[in-house]
């Protein structure tokens, strides 16, 4: 379970988060929607500890991220996968080397074990044919799928997905959404997903939270949110899937 309690965060001269509270129950996907620049990526970065709240707390499986020892923080991070916005691949490594990186850093697995695991997860995201390519030579959608493979390679219990379908065509988007659902249902992964896409929210979201003014304006299931009285909520999830 991931819990954010009353998180406040100032960056530069702006208070980006102003009392953000949300809970992601174990084995569920919580989808965060909200305007560009509102603080969605900043929220995810609090969960892996890139940012610390000025006030409030982030608790993962009962462990407060602010008081965790460095050793426990490392252990916790091993159990988390992160799909960065736009994939964030290292340009000087091939797709396969990028995907292998978390295993090289965090485990003592042998080269051949790592190679096998990398090919399996690349197959899962439909990228096995591009294993030897460098990021500069692949499309935005392929980068994102490689980023997804890297997020899943350590078989994490938690995955944070920052705009998993940005720049993908509708067919590829559907594949990624289905993959996120599969990862939840088959592996029991708990997910925190940032997206602007209704199709994504409708397919993967157990709970949708719309963030505005640094906090959750409203949260609920898709059906609940469609009955919302807030105009902003309508703008994000009113109507059918896009």
Ligand X SMILES: Nc1ncnc2c1ncn2[C@@H]1O[C@H](COP(=O)(O)OP(=O)(O)OP(=O)(O)O)[C@@H](O)[C@H]1O
Assess 11 for contact with ligand X (CB under 6 A).
yes
Please, are residues 198 and 239 in contact by the beta-carbon 8 Å criterion?
A: yes
Assess 13 for contact with ligand X (CB under 6 A).
no
Please, are residues 136 and 160 in contact by the beta-carbon 8 Å criterion?
A: no
**Hey, which residues between 92 and 131 contact ligand X (CB under 6 A)?**
none
**From the CB of 141, what's the least distance to ligand X, in Å?**
17
**Hey, which residues between 21 and 50 contact Mg ion (CB under 5 A)?**
40-41
Query: Total residues at the site for ligand X (CB under 6 A)?
Result: 12
Give the start-end residues of each E strand in the chain.
Answer: 2-11, 14-24, 29-33, 55-60, 63-64, 80-83, 158-162, 190-194, 207-212, 215-220
Assess 86 for contact with Mg ion (CB under 5 A).
no
Rounded CA-CA distance 16/157 in Å is 28
Which CB atom, from 16 or from 65, has the smaller least distance to ligand X? 16
**From the CB of 30, what's the least distance to ligand X, in Å?**
15
Q: Which does 192 bind (CB under 5 to 8 A by kind): Mg ion, ligand X, none?
A: none
DSSP 206: S
Q: Which does 16 bind (CB under 5 to 8 A by kind): Mg ion, ligand X, none?
A: ligand X
Rounded CA-CA distance 103/91 in Å is 18
Q: Which does 11 bind (CB under 5 to 8 A by kind): ligand X, Mg ion, none?
A: ligand X
Please tell me the total number of residues recorded for the chain in this structure: 242
Please, are residues 31 and 205 in contact by the beta-carbon 8 Å criterion?
A: yes
Of the candidate residues 30, 40, 130, 214, the single one contacting ligand X (CB under 6 A)? 40
Of 39-47, 99-107, 114-122, 167-175, which segment contacts ligand X by CB under 6 A? 39-47
Assess 86 for contact with ligand X (CB under 6 A).
no
Three-class DSSP category at 140: helix
Of the candidate residues 10, 25, 26, 37, the single one contacting ligand X (CB under 6 A)? 37
Describe the strand order of the beta sheet including 158-162 as a list of residue ranges. Answer: 80-83, 158-162, 190-194, 29-33, 207-212, 215-220
Of 21-29, 30-38, 90-98, 127-135, which segment contacts ligand X by CB under 6 A? 30-38
Three-class DSSP category at 185: helix
**From the CB of 34, what's the least distance to ligand X, in Å?**
6
- Positions touching Mg ion (CB under 5 A) are 40-41
- Positions touching ligand X (CB under 6 A) are 11-12, 16, 34, 36-42, 85
């Amino acid at each position: 379970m991931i819990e954010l309690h009353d998180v406040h965060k100032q960056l530069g001269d702006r208070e980006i988060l102003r009392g953000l509270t949300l809970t992601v129950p174990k084995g569920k996907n919580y989808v965060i929607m909200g305007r560009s620049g509102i603080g969605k990526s900043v929220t995810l970065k609090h969960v892996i500890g890139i940012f610390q709240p000025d006030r409030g707390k982030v608790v993962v499986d009962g462990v407060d991220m602010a008081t965790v020892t460095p050793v426990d923080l490392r252990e916790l991070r091993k159990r988390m996968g992160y799909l960065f916005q736009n994939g964030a691949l290292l340009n000087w490594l091939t797709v396969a080397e990028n995907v292998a990186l978390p295993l090289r850093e965090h485990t003592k697995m042998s080269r051949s074990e790592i190679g096998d695991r990398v090919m399996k997860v690349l197959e899962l995201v439909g990228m096995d044919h591009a294993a030897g390519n460098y990021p500069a030579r692949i499309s935005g959608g392929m980068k994102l799928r490689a980023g997804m493979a890297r997020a899943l390679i350590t078989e994490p219990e938690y995955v944070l997905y920052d705009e998993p379908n940005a720049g993908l065509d509708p067919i590829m988007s559907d594949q990624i959404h289905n993959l996120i659902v599969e990862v939840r249902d088959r592996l029991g992964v708990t997910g925190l997903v940032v997206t602007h896409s209704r199709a994504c929210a409708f397919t993967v979201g157990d709970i949708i939270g719309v963030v505005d003014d640094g906090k959750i304006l409203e949260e609920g299931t898709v059906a609940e949110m469609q009955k919302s009285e807030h105009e902003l909520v309508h703008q994000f999830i009113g109507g059918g899937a896009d």
